[in-house]
Amino acid sequence: MSFTVAIVGRPNVGKSTLFNRLVGKRLALVDDTPGVTRDRREGRARLGDLEFTVFDTAGLDEAASETLTGRMQAQTRAAMAASDAVLFLMDGRAGILPVDRVFADLVRASGKPAILVANKSEGKRLAVAEGFELGLGEPVPISAEHGEGLADLYAALRAALPEQTSPDEDLDEEAHTSTSKPVRIAVVGRPNSGKSTLVNRLLGQERLLTAQEAGTTRDAIAVDLEWQGRHFRVHDTAGLRRRSRVQDKLEKLSVADALNAVRFAEVVILLMDTQAPFEEQDLRIADRIEREGRALVIGMNKWDLIEHGGQGGKDLQKRADHWLPQLKGAPIVPISGLTGQGIDRLMRAVLEIYEVWNKRVETSALNRWLADVSAAHPPPAVKGRPLRLNYITQPKSRPPTFVLFASRIDAFPDSYRRYLVNSLREVFELPGTPIRLTLREKKNPYAGRRKR
- Per-residue confidence band for 169, with pLDDT thresholds at 50, 70 and 90: very low
pLDDT reported for residue 400: 94
Domain with CATH 3.40.50.300 in the chain: 4-173, 183-357
- 8 A C-beta contact, residue 402 and residue 437: yes
**Lowest model confidence (mean pLDDT) among 2-11, 169-178, 266-275, 378-387:** 169-178
- The residue-averaged pLDDT of 117-128 equals 74
Q: Is the pLDDT of residue 66 over 80?
A: no
Cα separation, 159 vs 153, in Å, equals 10
CATH no. of 363-441: 3.30.300.20
- Per-residue confidence band for 310, with pLDDT thresholds at 50, 70 and 90: very low
pLDDT reported for residue 167: 63
Domain with CATH 3.30.300.20 in the chain: 363-441
pLDDT reported for residue 271: 92
Q: Is the pLDDT of residue 77 over 70?
A: yes
Name which CATH class applies to 4-173.
alpha beta
Q: Is the pLDDT of residue 320 over 80?
A: yes
Share of residues in the chain with pLDDT > 70 (%)? 81
pLDDT reported for residue 176: 44
- 8 A C-beta contact, residue 53 and residue 3: yes
- Better pLDDT: 364 or 10: 364
**Domain spanning 183-357, CATH architecture:** 3-Layer(aba) Sandwich (3.40)
Cβ atoms within 10 A of the Cβ of 376, count? 8
In the DSSP assignment, the letter for residue 158 is H
**Which residues are CB-neighbours of 196 under 8 A, at least 6 positions away?**
208, 209, 210, 216, 217, 236
- Of these ranges, 103-112, 366-375, 381-390, the one predicted with the greatest mean pLDDT is 366-375
- The residue-averaged pLDDT of 61-86 equals 72
Q: Enumerate the β-bridge partners of residue 427.
A: none
Helix axes 249-263, 280-291, angle to 10 degrees: 50
Q: Is the dihedral of CA 65, 70, 73, 78 positive or negative?
A: positive
